[in-house]
Amino acid sequence: MASELLRRATPEEQFAEVTRGTVDLQVAEELQKKLRRAHDSGKPLVIKAGFDPNRPDLHLGHSLLLTRMRRFQEFGHQVVFLIGDFTALIGDPTGKNVTRPPLTRDEVRTNAETYKQQVFKVLDPARTQVRFNSEWLDALGAEGVVRLAARYSVARMLERDDFKKRFRENRTIALHEFLYPLLQGYDSVALKADVELGATDQLFNLLVGRQLMKESELEPQVIMTGPILEGLDAKLVDGKIEGEKMSKSLGNYVGIDEPADQIFGKLMSITDDLMWRYYELLSSKSLGELQALRAAVADGTSHPKAVKMALAQELTGRFQGEAAGRTAAEDFEKRFAKKQLSVDSLPQVELSLGGAAGLLVTRVVADAHLAASATEARKLIVQGGVRVNEQKVADPRAELAAGDYLVQVGKLKAARIKLR
């Protein structure tokens, strides 16, 4: 089966699909050679991507990496979903201006189980190995860690942007943080990875793995990094999509475990420009299919709304099942396109007053994920775009007391709010 999939597309076609949206590719010629060898020999490549279980749930931004892994799987390659249960005890310092607190063993185990449940919403379980790096890092021992640390100098470690910045600003860099990229690199040696995937802020760590493989007389892994996904509120500015990265703390995210109607509704709220960005990075459609879609919109054959609904249905179906995706699309069309608001079918959100007499409408709108933030909710109120129980809210300082409310934002978003 794997050999058949390896030959379903030419090495050139595989290269075009698996590298789409790539930020860093080191080295392109090596990847082309590896794909050609796998195609001719029928032996799949080993594709590695590591995830530290430092949060219990995943959102659409995390699925970027999973989507790229899935593309490799569709061509018959072997994916290793590596859970960094050992390295999570250190805490990845990437992009951090302070030392990250390490997780406990119990936190790691709990989060890892949640990851295992969620990743197969994207990955094919039959072609995925789930591994834990404690398998070999626990066995490495103190002597092994010392020998590993001897391979890299402090000067080379300080080439990392975040370390360099903290050193320059006289911020603390704990010694154990230097071990993280070395241990991540050793993972590649242990797995004999052909390709390692990561976000662009992981480039230094991935290069360490490539170097350690060379020193271990193994064929070095190809490195591929992808972008950090922009949140739902990102927009096109001077020909480029700009905005904060997708983050739960910013409220501009889509959780892959959210109800189907919420996933669908959030995706329908993005701009048409951002839609194409999400198509390129997240859709399973081929590059040829995307070009045809763009052409159809450009010549008026297809309407952008219909194309956006197709994307929303695809991603909702990926995370909650195809039937749920179809139902969400039908319900959206009924409630909004035909302006038949079915209150019973709206998502219900329970919010706490926290002992206060009331909660600002801006906070209610943001906490119910009907706007990216309270600031955005305030703008929407000023623009006349927020209604509570069918009445337009005019005062950005308005509060709601305990009770049940129908809150609408524009024509596309609504929820039943239970405030207690």
Hey, what domains does the chain have and what are their CATH numbers?
2-226 (3.40.50.620), 235-340 (1.10.240.10), 344-419 (3.10.290.10)
Out of 191-195, 199-203, 276-280, pick the least confident: 199-203
Q: Nearest Cα to 272, choosing from 309, 325, 301?
A: 309
Taking CA atoms, 379 is separated from 118, 327, 359, 365, 382, in Å, by: 35, 32, 17, 12, 5
pLDDT at 1: 58
The arithmetic mean of pLDDT across residues 93-107, rounded, is 62
Q: How far apart are CA 113 and CA 106, in angstroms?
A: 11
Task: Output 149 or 55, whichever has higher pLDDT.
Answer: 149
The distance of Cα 231 from the centroid of its chain, to the nearest Å, equals 10
Say if CB 377 and CB 360 are below 8 A apart: no
Give the confidence band of 220 by pLDDT, cuts at 50, 70, 90. Answer: very high
Q: Taking Cα atoms as reference points, which of 320, 393, 294, 353 lies closest to residue 121?
A: 320
Q: Which residue from 280, 328, 309, 321 is spatially nearest to 122, judged by alpha carbons? A: 321
Q: Is the dihedral of CA 185, 187, 188, 190 positive or negative?
A: positive
- Model pLDDT, residue 91: 65
Lowest mean pLDDT among 34-38, 109-113, 289-293: 109-113
pLDDT for 250 beyond 90: no
- Higher-pLDDT residue of 176 and 261 is 261
Q: Smallest Cα–Cα separation from 330: which of 309, 300, 344, 357?
A: 309
99, pLDDT greater than 60: no
Q: What is the pLDDT of residue 101?
A: 63
pLDDT digits (tens, 9 = 90+) for 256-266: 888 999 899 99
Mean pLDDT of the chain: 88
Asked if the model's pLDDT at residue 131 lies above 70, the reply is: yes
Residue 28 has pLDDT above 70, yes or no: yes
pLDDT classification of 52: cutoffs 50, 70, 90 = confident
Cα gap 76→5, rounded to integer Å: 5
Full DSSP string of 226-272: EPPPB-TT-EEETTEEE-PBP-TTTT---BTTS-HHHHHHHHHTS-H
**What per-residue confidence (pLDDT) applies to 133?**
93
What pLDDT, on the 0 to 100 scale, is given for residue 172? 83
Residue 14, Cβ density class (10 Å: 0-12 exposed, 13-18 middle, ≥19 buried)? buried
Residues facing 241 on adjacent strands: 236
pLDDT confidence tier of residue 347, bands split at 50, 70 and 90: confident
Q: In this predicted structure, which of 170-174, 177-181, 248-252, 285-289 has the lowest mean pLDDT?
A: 248-252
